[in-house]
Amino acid sequence: MLLIVWLSLRAFPNDSRSLHLRKLVHMKGQDSMNVKHQNSQSEEFTKALVSYFNKRYKKQIDLAINLGVQPAVISYYLSGKRLPTPEHLCAICIDFKLPPHDQRKLFHLIDYLMPDSDGEGSDRDRIIRYYMDFCCNEPSLSLTALDAELVKRKITPLVTTLKKVKADNE
């Protein structure tokens, strides 16, 4: 039964039945096969994240400053002890200036949907997605520029949101 649920979730990730099945799997707990699959995906995600990090940075603190988080958070992500939130992952993709196919790979590996993936997201999601789609080709599309654009439109900035989430968790 769990294999059927897993195949359904992978084949139809945006389907309402799959979302319902995903909730059921989380409610009933995860079986060892599902945990092993998640662990292998998490390991692949961590390897990819470390690879992208090493191409862009030498010190974890530099990324932490750009994202507005404690260096320990970055350490957790790079060691695989924690997975980033969808907002952190968006900020990381923009900060790393990853091409869209690399971004999709990271989001896919941890079963996150990219912002505005269905074309019906909020203005904030559409702006974030625009920056994600074009940040690798346009140097001016940075996290700072994204936050300035969001503030100009009176929308909560991405990095400020990350700082607020951090403050709420403390």
The residue to which tokens 């939130």 are assigned: 85
The residue to which tokens 């607020």 are assigned: 164
Identify whether the C-beta of residue 115 lies closer than 8 Å to the C-beta of residue 125.
yes
| R_g of the chain computed on alpha carbons | 17
Residues whose CB falls within 8 Å of the CB of residue 90, separated by 6 or more in sequence, listed in order: 114, 115, 128, 132, 158
Query: What is the reported pLDDT for 39?
Result: 76
Query: What is the reported pLDDT for 33?
Result: 37
Q: How many residues does the chain have?
A: 170
Alpha carbon 8 to chain centroid distance?
A: 22
CA 143/CA 158 separation, integer angstroms:
8
Query: What is the reported pLDDT for 78?
Result: 96
Query: What is the reported pLDDT for 121?
Result: 83
Residue type, 54: N
Cβ neighbourhood burial of 121 (10 Å; 0-12, 13-18, 19+): middle
CB atoms within 10 A of CB 67: 24
End-to-end CA distance of the chain: 40
Residue pLDDT tens, the chain, 170 long: 443 444 444 555 554 444 443 433 443 444 433 444 457 788 999 999 999 999 999 999 999 998 888 999 999 999 999 999 999 999 999 999 999 999 999 999 999 999 988 878 899 999 999 999 999 999 999 999 999 999 999 998 988 655 554 455 55
